[in-house]
C-alpha cells in the first residue's frame, strides 16, 4: 500500500490515513460512489482519509480505495467479476507481496482498491464495495480467450 499511502497523521486520538488522491477524484460520479460505500468491511470500520475520493477500512488497514484512477485498457492480467462489476486483479506495483491491487474495468470513473492480503480476503472487500460501482453503467467488460473470435 506504499504507492498510495504516504503516511499516517494523528488527528486527536484517531489516525487519519494519508492517501494520494486519484487524478479524477473530483468527478461527481466519485462522490456518488463514495456516499454508497460501506462504513464497515468484515467488522473493520472505515477510517478518515486525507483526500477526496478515498476511503480506508481497518486499523491497520485491510483495504484502501481511490476513486478516479485512470481507467485500465485491455490487458492480459486476471479479471474477476464480483456482483456484476469487473475488476483487474494483480499484485501491487510496490513489490509488496502482501498487497493486492484491484482496478475496476469498463466503468468510468475507475476505482482502485488495495487489499492487505495478510489481513483480509480480496473477495470479501470486492463483495462489499462492488454494489457502489454497480450503479454505473458498464462501457466494456472483461473477456477471456474463449470469447475472442479467430
Q: Is residue 75 part of a domain?
A: yes
What are the grid coordinates assigned to 23, written together?
487524478
Residue 134 inside a domain? The answer is: yes
Residue whose C-alpha is closest to residue 51's, from 63, 36, 34: 34
Band of residue 78 on the pLDDT scale cut at 50, 70, 90: very high
Residue at 150 is within a domain:
no
pLDDT digits (tens, 9 = 90+) for 91-149: 887 656 789 999 999 999 999 999 998 888 899 999 999 999 999 999 999 987 666 66
In a domain, 147, yes or no: no
- For residue 69, the model assigns a pLDDT of 98
pLDDT of 92 reads: 83
Question: The domain containing residue 91 runs over which residues?
Answer: 5-142
Q: What single-letter DSSP state applies at residue 117? A: T
Give the angle subtended at the CA of 41 by the CAs of 40 and 44, to the nearest 5°: 70
CA atoms within 13 A on the CB side of 23: 6
On whether residue 94 sits in a domain, the answer given is: yes
145 vs 85, higher pLDDT: 85
The residue with cell 494483480 is: 90
Structural domain count of the chain? 1
Residue 111 resides in a domain: yes
Residue 113 domain flag: yes
C-alpha span between 73 and 65 (Å, rounded): 20
pTM: 0.85
The residue written with cell numbers 462522490 in the block is: 31
Q: Tell me: the pLDDT tens digits for 44-67?
A: 999 999 999 999 999 999 999 999
* pLDDT band with cut points at 50, 70 and 90 for residue 4: very low
Average pLDDT, integer, range 62-83:
95
Amino acid at each position: 500500500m506504499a504507492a498510495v499511502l504516504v503516511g499516517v497523521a494523528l488527528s486527536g486520538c484517531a489516525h487519519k490515513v494519508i492517501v494520494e488522491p486519484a487524478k479524477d477524484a473530483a468527478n461527481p460520479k466519485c462522490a456518488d460512489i463514495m456516499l454508497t460505500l460501506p462504513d464497515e468491511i468484515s467488522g473493520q470500520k472505515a477510517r478518515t482519509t486525507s483526500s477526496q475520493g478515498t476511503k480506508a477500512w481497518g486499523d491497520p488497514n485491510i483495504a484502501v480505495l481511490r476513486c478516479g484512477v485512470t481507467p485500465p485498457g485491455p490487458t492480459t492480467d486476471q479479471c474477476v467479476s464480483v456482483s456484476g462489476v469487473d475488476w483487474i486483479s494483480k499484485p501491487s506495483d510496490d513489490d509488496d507481496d502482501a498487497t493486492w491491487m484491484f482496478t475496476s474495468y469498463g466503468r468510468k470513473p475507475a476505482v482502485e482498491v488495495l487489499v492487505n492480503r495478510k489481513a483480509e480476503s480480496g473477495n470479501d472487500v470486492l463483495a462489499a464495495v462492488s454494489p457502489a460501482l454497480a450503479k454505473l453503467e458498464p462501457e466494456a467488460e472483461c473477456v477471456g480467450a474463449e470469447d475472442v473470435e479467430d
